[in-house]
Amino acid sequence: MQKKIANLRRDYQSRTLDITELSSDPFLQFKNWFDEALEIANETKGFEANAMTLCTATPDGQPSARIVLLKGFDENGFIFYSNYKSKKGQEIETNPNVALVFHWHDLERQIRIEGQAGRVEASLSDKYYNSRPRKSRLGAWASPQSQTIDNREILENNMQQLQADYGEEKPIPRPPHWGGYRVAPSMIEFWQGRSSRLHDRIVYQKDNEAWRIQRLAP
Ligand SMILES: Cc1cc2nc3c(=O)[nH]c(=O)nc-3n(C[C@H](O)[C@H](O)[C@H](O)COP(=O)(O)O)c2cc1C
Q: Which residue's CA lies nearest to atom 14 of ligand 1?
A: 68
Residue 79, in any domain of the structure? yes
Range of the domain at 208: 8-132+178-216
CA 49 – CA 69 distance, rounded (Å): 9
Active site residues: 197
- Contact residues for 167 (Cβ-Cβ < 8 A; gap 6+): none
What pTM did the predictor assign? 0.96
**Ligand 1 atom closest to 83 (CA):** 11
Q: Given ligand 1 and candidates 53, 66, 71, which is best to mutate, with the most ligand atoms within 8 Å of its CB?
A: 66
pLDDT class of 17 with cuts at 50, 70, 90: very high
C-alpha to C-alpha distances, 164 to 143, 156, 161, nearest whole angstrom: 16, 12, 5
Mode of pairing for the β-strands spanning 97-104 and 109-119: antiparallel
pLDDT at 1: 63
* Residue closest to 84 by CA, chosen among 51, 53, 129: 129
Determine the straight-line distance between the first and last CA of the chain, rounded to whole angstroms. 29
Residue 160, in any domain of the structure? no
Residue 167, in any domain of the structure? no
Residue 78, in any domain of the structure? yes
Residue 162, in any domain of the structure? no
In whole numbers, what is the pLDDT of the chain averaged over residues?
A: 96
Residue 16, in any domain of the structure? yes
Rounded average pLDDT over 131-148 = 97
For residue 3, pLDDT beyond 80: no
Residue 51, in any domain of the structure? yes
- Model confidence pLDDT, tens digit, residues 184-205: 999 999 999 999 999 999 999 9
For residue 102, pLDDT beyond 80: yes
Residue 73, in any domain of the structure? yes
CATH of the domain at 125: 2.30.110.10
Residue 67 C-alpha to ligand 1 middle, in angstroms? 5
68 lines ligand 1 (CB under 6 A): yes
CA 46 – CA 215 distance, rounded (Å): 32
CA 38 to chain CA centroid, nearest Å = 15
Counted domains in the chain? 1
